[in-house]
Structure 1
Amino acid sequence: MNQVQKLLIIGFVWPEPNSSAAGGRMIQLISLFKRQGFNITFASPAQDSDFMVDLESLGVDKKSIDLNNYSFDVFIKELNPEIVLFDRFMMEEQFGWRVAENCPNALRLLDTEDLHCLRLARQKAFKEKRSFNATDLFLEDVAKREVASILRSDLSLMISEFEIELLESVFKIDKGLFYYLPFLLEPINSIEMLKLPSFEERKNFIFIGNFLHEPNWNAVQYLKETIWPLIRKLLPEAVLHIYGAYPSQKVVQLHNVKEGFFIKGRANDAREVVKNARVVLAPLRFGAGIKGKLLEAMQCGTPSVTTNIGGESMHGDLPWNGFVTDDITDFTDKAVQLYQDKNIWIKAQQNGITIINQRYLRGLFEDDFVKVVMILQADLQKHRLNNFIGSMLQHHTLKSTKYMSLWIEAKNK
């Protein structure tokens, strides 16, 4: 990509890399396009937050935009970007039709983060005390909205191979509309390994996760009520630190010194607290996507115990960075084993490094992704002709979101 191109990112929220994996993911995408020489504008209808990244320090222009407002049309016409990246399907739903009308030749990318309909369908199945079935997705209204958004976009970036498989097999979406782009990390070498705290230098169990995310709150409840009492029976002096951004009062109330259950809230430096813990516990019972907390654990050389949903699509055929189990007794035993047995712990740590270096290196994906983007830009009309359902969803008779937006805009005047 020789000429300087413009990329507009439309963000659901302003990126907070220290608060969530989604924030970290967005910074990785920004860095990828910066390395290709793009001029980047990040626009969002969200309120500023105390923890948002300083975009201007990254060389990114920041722009606040309004929902349901013609001012966006004026803004995007003037900017005239070659590529627009929607951060989650809700942003494509809100702004995609405006982009299509005002910049029809702009390549429209959708970063799905994770499949929201999968997370919600699993959550519903869990609450109804039944097993999740892929056909449950058909019953989710969010699935209809999310899949429509994927079909309207030129290319959707997916972080989970399992979710790509679901979209192909359940929703019959053409694989030419996806690109597998997981978290993009730097390699971990033996010198960096030596800088990590040793088994003896570490102490305590840890859980970390943004509390605005329902699977994290549920996992903390599960730890408090079921798993942690069993661990404490076997390790009476054990301590569990619960870290996470945006803890509500119901989270804070779980703090109990006598039980060794400490609610610590937001970590000033998440990497630092994970690096000094001995074992990460992540008993996730529903969710989707790739779990940033578990990748971060691997980067910090901290073994973990998680569930099958926690480890889903993360390690391929490679052995896990600790243990994966859905059985409560087994989860407890494996957590204690990892905490006490140095040899098992070191092996688990090495497994984590191997997973990072074989599955998540930026170098494995970046060049190929850039090539795919260039090919799409060079023959965008042909690509869109091959996506008839996407074109149909852009047709005016099906644009309920557009006309609802215009109605709200008129009403607001």
Structure 2
Amino acid sequence: MIRVRVVTSRRLHVASLSTCTTPDSLLAYGSRILHCPDPHKKVALTFECQNRWKSEALPVYTGSLWGSDEAPGLPARGPRPELLAPKKMPSMKQLQTQASIPVIMLHALAHIELGAIDNYWDTLVRFDPVKFQLPRDFYDDFLTVAGDEARHFQMVDNRLRELGSEYGALPATRALLEHAANTAADLAARIAIVPLVQEARGLDSGDRLVHRMKSMGDKESAKVVEQIVWEERNHVRCGMKWFQHLAKVQKREQDQVAYFQELVLQFFPDGLPGPFDVEARQEANMGTEWYESLESKVAHPSGVKLEKRGDTQSASVAAFAASKKKVILAGSVWPERTSSAAGVRSADIIQVLQERGYQVLCVSPSRLNDHTSKLQEEQGVRCIQADANTDIFQKLLLETMPQLVVFDRFIAEEMYGWQAKKYSPEALRVLDLQDVHFIRRAREFAVKKQGLNFKETLDGEQLDIDPVEKIAIRELASIHRSDLTLYVSDFERDLLVSRFQVPDMNLHRCDFFYPAIDVSKLNSFNDRRHIAFIGSFKHSPNVDAVEWAKKHIMPVYRNLGGDAEVHIYGSYGETKRFVKLNDPKQGFFMKGFAPDAHETLSQYRLSIAPLRFGAGIKGKIADSWFVGTPCVSTSIGAEGMSLDGLQWGGTIADTPDTFASEMLHLYNDEARWDVAHQAGVAACSARYDASRNGDSLMERLERTMVEKRELREKNWMGRILWSENYRATEYMSRYIHAKNDGVNNGVK
């Protein structure tokens, strides 16, 4: 039955649709979904709306006025699961009488995903597009997010069924139903609370949930959670984009951070619990200035003394302090050899320091995990969790007095640099860039947002930095504040010196560390088959490269008669977006994670690096050369890896036609392949020799330790940035620390 409601004034003339009527707009779909109690029908309707939105240009609404009363006060729910007030929810111990821990955790996650479906649909249909100046892009973005949440719910429910359960089998909290209702009057508050608090908290806790699943032996559930956490970075990114839009609409663009924090404190008056995943939030375009001052700490009774470290850690720190040569490596995440080329390089730098007699201690705000266990067990590296907004790092510096403090990327320098300068002034402060982040971001913006041909971004002097000005200023400030900065690419060194006035004397090249190559053990032309690409799917240049190769290069390669298969390797490639790239008919195969990149690449006749944006030097190319595999790369991939007097270990091509042609000829021509094979080995040996590069790094570090006083006197830009007017990151951190101390001591 169709109930018709005629509304005058600002309300749209709307029919409340029965289940037999096909919705004719986004608004109608939202109304149907929010009134539907069946979670599986909500998912199906969301997918149906997405398809029609893309294929039919479905309107946002029909008629002349917006019908926001189509959003109910609370979304409909069925009889299962039983919804309880938070205080009446069974404890984990009680729930374990009904289900295993993985099932309990997955059921809670499914409930969160279902709540997110409703929250985003409510966001789509509740707020007047005219009042808030919402373009169609707003609906594009949040319909995509709602679709992600629907798919995530489906993924978790499917996993529950594989484990013999289903969504609804356990009780769930009714608190999630209130999230949309609490912010129903204000779209800015809705965006602040749902994507920028709730979703961002998911980024903070995601790695812990994945680790717990793995520790219980449930690798399949861990994969599901890992995919969800990774994809939800884009939800936070979307929230940042539209919160800034709303701040502009409401004339708050000049103090948008303060505006965000005002809204958050309305709903979370005690602040937000830490620790925060700084790197994940940064990747989602959410800088620390948005949330650091909101961090809350658990208040403890007066007189209770909190121990910062356990006995084992205290003994470990004491042993480190007793050493003669000490280095603290500080990062937003722990060094991880298996994650990326940057992780391998960080682990190699640790090894270089240890071989020269240094004891190494790693510090991060991230929780200790299996990676830290491996660092401690396999490399003898001590690891301490230290929130930058507490006095843990300060006490560590005072207790150990290191000679060196190395910051793994500029975010770590922002967090820990001021404490190193204040509490360990004699320590040499070294920034390890890995690559220049703002160059990569500027190129990505030019290619993905402005539609430029990537060849137009190769000239660093002409590259438009304005779209990424904020991150550029932050990264350059970190460089100028540091005593020494390690870079990997001569292209980036030249650009930093010529365009951004970084003194050359404050820079040192520190690229990869490969052992000597035994050429007699390398596979020959005839021992190898097929073509490989390798790279983490957490890294946006790799994602773009694979999609560009499949869409634009592979058809040309097949038309030219190329018959080799292309195999794609990389961690975090199990998501639906990437799995669908698998195309056996085209000979394009998604192979997943490669535990040993060198062993994998050594079996292939050719590797490819079809990168359209990026920075630094490419581990995938150096890894290929190390095992004698020639590489076809774009100029972006090859940047910083060409050596005077040495031939490139493969070939460079910048259009789909030439790239495909070079793949074909280099794969089939044994004589040409052999020349490229030898050139790659020679380049790797000449540029990335571990012994030579290790000696060079240590010579520069030790020389700079001797000369640091003179260098600091000459570094006027650094002295300016250390002056009180420019020490924003320090004062924000000190404010948070003081506020937290006040809470813990009962001060209001």
Same fold per superposition (TM over 0.5): yes
TM normalised by structure 1 equals 0.94
Q: Match for 2:384 among 27, 48, 63?
A: 63
Note the alpha carbon deviations across 1:183-230, whole angstroms, 9 max, x for none. Answer: 122232xxx222122211211111100111110000011011111122
Give 1 or 2 for the bigger CA radius of gyration. Answer: 2
Per the alignment, residue 171 of structure 1 pairs with 500
Do residues 358 (structure 1) and 678 (structure 2) align? no
Per the alignment, residue 344 of structure 1 pairs with 672
Distance apart, 1:347 and its partner CA: 0.9
Per the alignment, residue 336 of structure 2 pairs with 16
Per the alignment, residue 262 of structure 1 pairs with 589
Distance apart, 1:43 and its partner CA: 1.4
**Residue type of the alignment partner of 1:407:** Y
RMSD: 1.8
Per the alignment, residue 361 of structure 2 pairs with 41
User: Which ranges in structure 2 are unaligned for 5 or more consecutive residues?
Assistant: 1-322, 744-748
Contact 1:14/1:53 (<8 A) preserved: no
Distance apart, 1:355 and its partner CA: 0.4
Distance apart, 1:410 and its partner CA: 4.6
Contact 1:16/1:53 (<8 A) preserved: no
SS at 1:215 equivalent = helix
Note the alpha carbon deviations across 1:133-165, whole angstroms, 9 max, x for none. Answer: 535235521110001000000000111101010
Q: Match for 2:402 among 66, 69, 81?
A: 81
SS at 2:363 equivalent = strand
SS at 1:264 equivalent = strand
Q: 1:50 to 1:270 in 2, by over 3 A?
A: farther
Do residues 314 (structure 1) and 636 (structure 2) align? no
Cα distance in 1 between the residues matched to 2:667 and 2:414: 46
Q: Match for 2:541 among 211, 215, 224?
A: 215
Do residues 253 (structure 1) and 580 (structure 2) align? yes
**Residue type of the alignment partner of 1:254:** L
**Residue type of the alignment partner of 2:651:** F
Cα distance in 1 between the residues matched to 2:691 and 2:367: 34
Cα distance in 1 between the residues matched to 2:369 and 2:666: 38
SS at 2:602 equivalent = helix
Note the alpha carbon deviations across 1:265-286, whole angstroms, 9 max, x for none. Answer: 1112111110101110111001
Q: 1:58 to 1:123 in 2, by over 3 A?
A: same
Do residues 378 (structure 1) and 706 (structure 2) align? yes
Per the alignment, residue 229 of structure 1 pairs with 555
Per the alignment, residue 142 of structure 1 pairs with 471
Do residues 129 (structure 1) and 451 (structure 2) align? yes
User: Which ranges in structure 1 are unaligned for 5 or more consecutive residues?
Assistant: none
Cα distance in 2 between the residues matched to 1:380 and 1:147: 20
Cα distance in 2 between the residues matched to 1:165 and 1:350: 29
Do residues 154 (structure 1) and 483 (structure 2) align? yes
Cα distance in 2 between the residues matched to 1:53 and 1:282: 33
Distance apart, 1:253 and its partner CA: 2.0
Contact 1:19/1:244 (<8 A) preserved: no
Higher mean C-alpha displacement, 402-411 vs 302-311: 402-411
Contact 1:209/1:243 (<8 A) preserved: yes
Distance apart, 1:124 and its partner CA: 1.1
Distance apart, 1:104 and its partner CA: 0.9
Aligned length: 408
Cα distance in 2 between the residues matched to 1:389 and 1:324: 39
Cα distance in 1 between the residues matched to 2:658 and 2:331: 41
Higher mean C-alpha displacement, 378-387 vs 158-167: 378-387
TM normalised by structure 2 equals 0.53
Higher RCO (CA-CA < 8 Å; seq separation 6+): 1
Cα distance in 1 between the residues matched to 2:423 and 2:416: 11
Distance apart, 1:47 and its partner CA: 4.0
Q: Match for 1:392 among 706, 717, 720?
A: 720
Higher strand share: 1
Cα distance in 2 between the residues matched to 1:48 and 1:303: 39
Per the alignment, residue 184 of structure 1 pairs with 513
Higher mean C-alpha displacement, 60-69 vs 351-360: 60-69
Do residues 285 (structure 1) and 604 (structure 2) align? no
SS at 1:345 equivalent = helix
SS at 1:316 equivalent = coil
Per the alignment, residue 735 of structure 2 pairs with 407
**Residue type of the alignment partner of 1:112:** L
Contact 1:301/1:352 (<8 A) preserved: yes
Per the alignment, residue 297 of structure 2 pairs with none
**Residue type of the alignment partner of 1:372:** R
Do residues 328 (structure 1) and 656 (structure 2) align? yes
